[in-house]
Amino acid sequence: MKVLPVKRRLINHHTPSPQGDWHLISICYPESLLPETVTVVKSAKQSYQPTQEVLQMMEIFRQMVNDCLRMGLENNTSTLKKLSRLCYSALAGYDIISYYKLHAIAKAAGILANRKQSIKRGYPTRIPYMKHTSLISCYGFKIANGILQIPLGDRLYFDILLNSYTKKILSDPAVIVRSFTLAASNTVSICYSKEVAGIGWTATAGVDRNLANVTYGNNERVIMFDVSQATKVVENTRSVTRSFKRNDVRMRKMITDKYGRRRRNRVHQLLHKVSKAIVQDAKKRKVAIVFEDITFIRRLYQKGNGQGRGYRSKLNSWPFFELKRQVEYKAAWEGVKVITLTKGKTRGTSQLCPRCGKRVQESRRDDPFHRRQLWCPDCQRWMDRDVAAAMNVARKGGEVFHRSEGLAGEAVVQEPGSVTPAILKVDASKSSRCELKVDSVARQPRT
C-alpha cells in the first residue's frame, strides 16, 4: 500500500475529558474542506432630489406591479416564467422602457412567491398591493465620473451625483454594480457585489448577547462590549413619547414615528461599531464566529407571565437579532465564517464551567460583590456568567462543526491554568470610527 502525502490544516479546540481535566484536541483540516469563493451582495444608500419626470416613471412602475399582482392572483400564478407570459403583453399600454416592465413583473413574482410561502406556513396574509412608488432596474444605467445615469427613454438620462462614501465603495476594482432602486423616500440604493474567498479559520469565538453587553471571545481572549447606552436611548424615547398630551391621533403618530426613527438610528449605529469590531477581530485572528439560537426568547416576556410592564417593554426592545444580522453580512463580505448553533447544542451555556465542564452555582441575590457571577465548586473560583457563556458557545461551535465533518484528531494535554482568558472591556458608545478601544483589562476574580 502506498501512502500519498495529503495537505492538511490544524485546528485547535478544547473539550472536557470524562475525568474533568481539559485536553487540547488537534484536528486535521483537509484543504478540500476550506471555504470556496462566493459572491457577496451589498447595497449603498444615499438621498437625491427627483424630478417630475422621474416621479411619473415611479408611479407607472407601481401601477405595473399592481396590475401584475392582480393578474397573478386571478390566474393563481406566482412563478416568474408564467407571470411573464401572462403579463408582458398586458403592459404594452404603458409608455415606459421595456426592461422596466420586466422588473415590474419580477417584483410582482417575488411578492406572490412570498405570499404563497406564508400561506403554506399557516400565516394570515392580505391581498398584496404595492402602496409606495419605486423604480428598479439592472439594465441601461451607467456610472461615470461619480454620476449615476438613469435611462428615461429616447436616449435621455437622469443624473444623480453620488456622494463621497458611495464613490469610495464603487471605486474598488473588485466591485461589480448590479442594479439601482429609487424609493419614495427620495433615496437611491445601488446594489453591488464582489467575489470573496473564504478564510481558512483555525479556531472559534462565541458571541453571547445580553441586554447591557455583548461578550465575544474564546478561551484565549474575551472582549466585553458595553452596550448599555442602547437601553438608555430606548428608555429616554419611551419617556418622551409618553409625555405627549395632545389629543390628536395623527400628530401623536407622526411625532412618535419621528422619535422612533431617531431611536432606531442611534441604536443601530452603536451596534454597527460592535459588529464591525467583532468581524475585524475574527478576520485578523482567523476564527469562526459562533452564535446561539435565541429566536423565540421574547416568549419569556409576554403579557401574562407575571412580569411588570416596564420590564417586559425593556426586554422586548432588546435588538439581539439586529446585531446578528449585521455580523452575518459583514462577515460574509470579509470571508469570515459564521456558525449558528441549535437550541439543543447551546442549552446551559451559562450553567457550565468552561474550564472543567461541571455545573456551576449562581451567586445569592444578597451578595453585592459577585453580581452576575458563577461559582465552580470543582475549580474553586468565581467567573463572569457572560464570559463563561461566550467560551462555552465557542467550544460547542468547534465541536459541532468537526463532528459533522467527521474529522479525527489526537489529544494533547494542556495545563488547566492556561484556560483562563484575558478579559477586555470596551465601551461601544465611546468608540470612534468603529475602532476597538480597550477601557480596561480585567481578570477572573480571585476566590
Q: Is residue 90 part of a domain?
A: yes
Residue pLDDT, tens place only, 418-428: 456 766 777 77
**pTM beyond 0.85:** no
Provide the domain limits for residue 95. Answer: 40-196
Q: Is residue 318 part of a domain?
A: yes
Q: Are residues 101 and 14 in the same domain?
A: no
Predicted local distance difference test score (pLDDT) of residue 349? 78
Q: Is residue 234 part of a domain?
A: no
Predicted local distance difference test score (pLDDT) of residue 355? 75
Q: Are residues 126 and 170 in the same domain?
A: yes
Q: Is residue 182 part of a domain?
A: yes
Per residue, the 3-state secondary structure of the chain, as one string, reads CCCCCCCEEEEEEEEECCCCCEEEEEEEEEHHHCCCEEEEEEEEEEECCCCHHHHHHHHHHHHHHHHHHHHHHHCCCCCHHHHHHHHCHHHHHCCCCHHHHHHHHHHHHHHHHHHHHHHHCCCCCCCCCCCCCEEEECCCCEEECCEEEEEEECCEEEEEECCHHHHHHHCCCCCEEEEEEEECCCEEEEEEEEEEECCCCCEEEEEEECCCEEEEECCCEEEEEECHHHHHHHHHHHHHHHCCCCCCHHHHHHHHHHHHHHHHHHHHHHHHHHHHHHHHHHHHHCEEEEEECCCCHHHHHCCCCCCCHHHHHHHHCCCHHHHHHHHHHHHHHHCCCEEEECCCCCCCCCCECCCCCCECEECCCCCHHHCCEEEECCCCEEEEHHHHHHHHHHHHHHHHHHHHHCCCEEEEECCHHHHCCEEEEEEHHHCHHHCCCCCEEECCCCC
Mean pLDDT over the full length of the chain: 80
Predicted local distance difference test score (pLDDT) of residue 52? 95
Q: How many domains does the chain have?
A: 2
Q: Is residue 245 part of a domain?
A: no
Average pLDDT of adjacent 10-residue blocks, the chain of 447 residues: 33 35 37 65 94 95 96 93 94 93 95 94 91 94 94 93 94 93 95 88 88 88 89 89 84 89 92 93 91 82 77 81 92 91 80 76 68 76 82 84 49 39 70 48 45
Predicted local distance difference test score (pLDDT) of residue 129? 93
Q: Are residues 298 and 187 in the same domain?
A: no
Q: Is residue 254 part of a domain?
A: no
Q: Are residues 14 and 131 in the same domain?
A: no
Q: Are residues 145 and 187 in the same domain?
A: yes
Q: Are residues 24 and 50 in the same domain?
A: no
Q: Is residue 99 part of a domain?
A: yes
Residue where a domain terminates, one of 196, 217, 248? 196
